[in-house]
Structure 1
């Protein structure tokens, strides 16, 4: 049975995903550098609208006499998944299966199962799983289904799959246990979390680094400082485990939540000693946020300078730095950083200036917010729903309800990108419109309340 080809593409691809290319994926290809070499990777990366099929791009590439390698397609699929372009990843996976006319490996099936869940939901993922021949339902496939249930927080179904895996003697390592530990942690089920840890001990299931990180996160989340310190000491025993920078970041968060700033700072310093080159950029971005949370501007600037020395400054870095400066109430610094970003980055993402616009709105600096939005529009940059929603809320707060209504109109017309409109502001606009006899617009606003209210 050619499993991946058994799906009808018209059913698989649908129009269930909306939006635009993710910020993270744009950053990968549009930082301060400009791409010059043509490649299939580049063509797919820039075609970010999920409503547009990738099939014409793939077909045109092949028709042009260019070669396509399976490993290249798999690499692109992995990056698409990483940056949440699931619909396109599913299209590439299906196309790859048809082109090479091969039965999928368990790993291919696991990826496909995850993509079907992301694009079509749990019911479709379950149907996909049922259609898999028993001979191909390996550990990897069952674990993929377990992850599907965990992602959907379907506790009963996840536990049932764990039971199946027990019956099939698939629970020989910590990987499925880690999935369940994460789920119990998210659901706040301490009793089952502890019971599963005990089960692992009784069955001799070795804890890997992920298991330890999950436990450390759990201790930090509930401010169990004693438990966190004991486990961290265990992780620092080099004869058993390797402690990485993220473990110390987690501990720093735990101390910060418990109000222990000195200990939190010590953990951040330790984390810096364990950063490897592969994750250095992401680690610095985390450190920017945490040093700002500690109110330590000197350390914030030090990390930012180290980050810039890496040679690549992505949108997400500027996003972290600007938000950190705002957290420290340094609006002048945030404005200067925004100007630097605008001068150096070729990919304009309104989420970055929205940080400062939101700060202006909260402080009642509406003229500054209006001025920036006007300049952005003049430069051809379209504000998002979030931009206008923040502005509408500020107008409402400052008793400028007519302006709030106009801003809310623009918020509805703009690119929403999953943004939920402010329920209080939207309700106030509805009441104003009703009072002034604009029933049609009031009803249009009201239709958005159940879905978008917060």
Structure 2
């Protein structure tokens, strides 16, 4: 850890950042401000902080004045396995497959009726730039054992549970009735069968049915619940019904089972929901319960602060060093991506070298992250070197790399290379390869080629999910092809494909891009009014930003209020857009400081500049004369 902090500290000194002598050695990740769509990144702290006189028992994160976040040596949850492969594993005991933390694509959806709780995806609340690293967090899996991050697993046919098939084939969506019938017919209901069925449901994102299965098992006392079973149920409740219901469920769990696995599961869901306050509250609760320090919890904090408050990354690194918590492969991935997002290529390369020095061989995900940042930084040759390394000399033998290579070659504008990689896949494509190809052709403005891949998907698979439709819809959005986008959504409806938050988001952005913000607003309002699923944060922000550019204070405030109504806590990003609406309208913003304070939002340097412009009591040369 010392090597990691030492190697990247020089770059930060050049940025002129200092928060105290004892803290400076690990402030290597304090980054200059970057705005990535919906994710706010704060600038410098309003005051310098010295850690030289902090009590040894407790480390206060005082870089955010409004945060009461604290750590001591007892404050982190259990060790998590670190896996670098994108493939899921069959996990061994009981409900352990349910220990996987929620992904960025699986933010919880509140106020959902049981009959509509199938395959719920609220979409990422993080930026598209973060999707390379965050949607698949098997690296943060909540398993007891830690696997070799460099282990390569061969493709294999996944087992399908007979119970799972029975649940799917039963008329309607009532899992309880399907289970009653299953037991009545004398079928096996062993823990192994239940575990496999639950795994099948989760892999297909059928979280609503998985929750019904868990509820039925507990109600009928078919198995003796363990801490992991309760954690599984907690994770599903959080995904489907929201964090508030999940917290209430924790209170219902027997005290003897309310251990480390329970709280780290809740913490992971808070992080997935980007709920900074709740995550820090859970963290401090774990401290009070004297759980041991682990890399899993530290990685969760790094992930959260990477999205919302990069200043605190250095504090987590310092704490990890003090507690002798070794960085994992996922830790390095987060740090490399953070450096890349701030355009600190030298710092990114230093972290990469430190990772190798520490004996962790960078996998394809790390190389993909670096290649993407090289490409966006104009370092084409460096990106190409990494891409060739990822190919491994024989792309047919390394077929698993194709889905990663396709969008990266497109990022470099290399049409021939995208065609070459796709040729390896086209005779027998996999779903993820098709989605990557559609994205790649879209980036290269090859709309017909993207549509051809989608048509091949329609012919190959009986039914496509809304996520798969959303990829092509995003291509249409990026090219402002409104008519084609509307036709695609109609095709979805005709195919009885569920139209949920991902599609709403794509439609909203499609109408916004074509200048029809009122239509986008209407679509989102109708979607939210159904009270089944929670629209994505980025959907609201796309509309709010457009109103803000117009200087439309009324509608900007309306969107701000509606976001709160559906359950989104206030963020810096929302206030930035709202204040900009007042600036563009050349109107004072009365009470804005008080509103931010009540929401525990501390302004960044950029927002401070905006607030100065809308301060109704600011002094001018004329006002001084009149006073």
**TM-score, normalising length from structure 1?**
0.70
In the alignment, what sits opposite 2:551? none
Shift in Å at residue 165 of structure 1? 3.4
Shift in Å at residue 200 of structure 1? 0.9
Shift in Å at residue 85 of structure 1? 2.4
Q: Which of the pair is proportionally richer in helix? A: 1
Distance 1:92 1:141, change over 3 A: same
In the alignment, what sits opposite 1:440? none
- Mapping for residues 141-180 of structure 1, pairs under 5 Å: 141-180=262-301
Shift in Å at residue 54 of structure 1? 1.0
Does structure 1 residue 62 correspond to structure 2 residue 180? no
In the alignment, what sits opposite 1:15? 113
Give the distance between the partners of 1:276 and 1:94, measured in 2 at CA.
Answer: 46
Shift in Å at residue 115 of structure 1? 1.5
In the alignment, what sits opposite 1:41? 164
Give the distance between the partners of 1:335 and 1:128, measured in 2 at CA.
Answer: 45
Shift in Å at residue 368 of structure 1? 6.5
Distance 1:62 1:101, change over 3 A: closer
Give the distance between the partners of 1:123 and 1:145, measured in 2 at CA.
Answer: 11
In the alignment, what sits opposite 2:403? 285
Shift in Å at residue 276 of structure 1? 12
Deviates more, 1:106-115 or 1:270-279: 270-279
Shift in Å at residue 223 of structure 1? 2.3
In the alignment, what sits opposite 2:417? 299
Shift in Å at residue 120 of structure 1? 2.3
Does structure 1 residue 204 correspond to structure 2 residue 302? no
Aligned 8 A contact 1:146 1:161 in 2: yes
- Secondary structure (helix, strand or coil) at the match of 1:236 reads helix
Deviates more, 1:382-391 or 1:118-127: 382-391
Give the distance between the partners of 1:377 and 1:263, measured in 2 at CA.
Answer: 41
Counterpart pick for 1:256 among 371, 375, 383: 375
Shift in Å at residue 142 of structure 1? 2.4
Counterpart pick for 1:313 among 430, 436, 442: 430
In the alignment, what sits opposite 1:342? 458
Deviates more, 1:78-87 or 1:291-300: 78-87
Counterpart pick for 2:363 among 244, 263, 284: 244
Give the distance between the partners of 1:243 and 1:285, measured in 2 at CA.
Answer: 18
Higher relative contact order (CA 8 A, sep 6+): 2
Could you list the runs of 5+ residues in structure 2 that have no partner in the other structure?
A: 1-94, 96-109, 122-159, 548-557, 567-576, 578-627
**TM-score, normalising length from structure 2?**
0.53
Shift in Å at residue 187 of structure 1? 0.9
Aligned 8 A contact 2:164 2:201 in 1: no
Give the distance between the partners of 2:289 and 2:256, measured in 1 at CA.
Answer: 13
Shift in Å at residue 123 of structure 1? 2.1
Shift in Å at residue 260 of structure 1? 2.1
Counterpart pick for 1:185 among 285, 302, 306: 306
Give the distance between the partners of 1:365 and 1:121, measured in 2 at CA.
Answer: 35
In the alignment, what sits opposite 1:235? 355
Distance 1:333 1:241, change over 3 A: same
In the alignment, what sits opposite 2:336? 216
Distance 1:370 1:19, change over 3 A: same
Aligned 8 A contact 1:219 1:254 in 2: no
In the alignment, what sits opposite 1:91? 212
- Mapping for residues 385-396 of structure 1, pairs under 5 Å: none
Shift in Å at residue 137 of structure 1? 2.7
